[in-house]
Structure 1
Amino acid sequence: MVTVAPPHPWVYALRLPHDPRAVRVARMTVRAALDGYDRRDALDVVELLTSELVTNAYLHTKGPASLRLTGLGDGRLRVGVWDSDPYIPAPFSGSGEDFVPLAPDDAETGRGLRLVQEHADSWGGWALDGGEPGRGAGKLLWFEVGGRAKLPLLRK
């Protein structure tokens, strides 16, 4: 089956409460949108990387988060996750220290941003200005995939 990208971009945006169930809601939203646009070719990678960014937003902040999924006219998919913490981690910071080391085999965390680094085609992040001196509005981390699944299924 040949996938044809729509000629115009499409966008889904979702506000997520600070709740551990928000990660599942984000995955379900990504799955429904990509199924609806016949973009199953990118589903596994986009769903996994979205889960990682939303999980980090939940674990490292106390406030809500937002998810934005954009299908671009050239076949790329872009996912952005906003949260209330202005700290931008590697590989998103662009500080020259953008390499995320491998987590130790016995570690229970620390693999999510490495997955983004390895399986997204591009990524980045911005600290957002809150409009008042000394008051930030959090950050936006994003990644893009070109529509091809680069990651094998992670099912055992």
Structure 2
Amino acid sequence: MLNEEQRLAYDTIYIRVTENGTGSFFLDGPGGTGKTFLYTTLLANLRARGLICLAVASSGIAAANIPGGRTSNSRFKIPLDIENNQSSQISKQSPLAELIRACKLIVWDEAPMAKRQSIEYFEKTLRDVCSSTKMFGGKIVVFGGDFRQVLPVIPKST
């Protein structure tokens, strides 16, 4: 039921996960183009193989649309006041750290809505928890969203 573009993304990510690869992907598309359907299909098929996959979103509404979804702040203990708190809130010995190390795929929907610092904190936390110098701790991460929904940033003139 996936269209041609969805099938290409699905196959690329699925193969990378099942072959224990690493990497990050970004799925960009306007609302209604099937990003959530792609995430759901990917997560269902990988979970059916017994693989652990985490699904998060920048908002609670988007998280509710993905099976097993939670907000990124909740799942990865990202502080709301990110500018003043840069140290990881996840202990390497915690059950959450074990879950992160065991997971094969992390899907983050509505990523353009997140603060840049939240993504940087997430990346740093994965490296720390996984004791890795690889990007995102060597995990496969799929970011998705629609940059057309984000307002442009216009710098202040001085």
Q: TM-score range by the shorter chain?
A: under 0.3
- Structure number with the higher helix fraction is 2
- Structure number with the higher strand fraction is 1
- The two structures have a TM-score, normalised by structure 1, of 0.28
- The two structures have a TM-score, normalised by structure 2, of 0.27
